[in-house]
Amino acid sequence: MKKLKLSHVDQAGNPAMVDVSEKKITKRNAQARAIVFLGKKVLAEVKNNELITKKGPVFQTAIIAGVMGAKKTAALIPFCHPIGLEDCQINYTISDKHITLNSNVTITGKTGVEMEALTAVAIAALTVYDMCKAISNEIIIEKVTLLKKTGGKKDFHR
């Protein structure tokens, strides 16, 4: 059986951060998506693409939380390199069954921003849940998905 070489384990078998000091600086971008099924009670409260609960404007708050989450990814996920994001955009669309949250994160650096893009939509989705849970417990978060990444060794498109 072939033994796997793990990227985040040192010679002694201990957890270790990947050394990116020799990597080339390139423009890197990642896009991610999360789907939040709100349920009929919550969707009935949406007016003009906005939803305001007792906690405030839901989607605008989710966007702010998502950007904050993306900026704190290295503090949340072991071995993610702390990076200074150059851009983090989050937007949403509402259908008759769910809200779709999309992130687009960019940096010029030595490591990618996939985890930051995923964290952005995950935190935004959790914020929607938190702000709407008093209306309904039928909210479902699913399909947190990396859609695209460019820059670095290889590009990825789903």
CA pair distance 109, 116, nearest whole angstrom: 14
Tell me, yes or no, if 87 is annotated catalytic. no
* Structure-block tokens of residue 41: 């009670």
User: 21 lies in a domain?
Assistant: no
The β-bridge partners of 103 are 32, 90
The pLDDT confidence band at residue 4, using thresholds 50, 70 and 90, is low
What is the residue-wise DSSP string for 29-82? Answer: EEEEEEEEE--HHHHTT-BTTB-EETTEEHHHHHHHHHHHHHHTHHHHSTTPPP
- The answer to whether 122 and 112 are in contact (CB under 8 A) is no
User: 147 lies in a domain?
Assistant: yes
Output phi, psi for 129, to 5 deg: -55, -50
User: 56 lies in a domain?
Assistant: yes
User: How far apart, in Å, are the Cα atoms of 89 and each of 37, 84, 137?
Assistant: 21, 14, 28
- The answer to whether 123 and 69 are in contact (CB under 8 A) is yes
Q: Please state, rounded to an integer, the average pLDDT across all residues of the chain.
A: 90
- Mean pLDDT calculated for residue range 32-36: 98
Q: Is the pLDDT of residue 25 over 80?
A: yes
Predicted local distance difference test score (pLDDT) of residue 1 = 62
Residues counted in the chain: 158
Instruction: Give the CATH number, domain containing residue 144.
Output: 3.30.70.640
**Structural domain containing residue 74:** 26-151
CA pair distance 151, 112, nearest whole angstrom: 7
The β-bridge partners of 100 are 35, 93
Of the listed ranges 9-23, 27-41, 62-76, 124-138, the least confidently predicted one is: 9-23
Instruction: Point out the catalytic residue in the list 10, 87, 96, 130.
Output: 130
User: 87 lies in a domain?
Assistant: yes
Whether the model clears a pTM of 0.75, i.e. scores above it, the answer is yes
Q: Which residue has the tokens 């964290």?
A: 119
User: 12 lies in a domain?
Assistant: no
> Domains in the chain: how many in total?
1
Of the listed ranges 35-49, 53-67, 111-125, the least confidently predicted one is: 35-49
User: 80 lies in a domain?
Assistant: yes
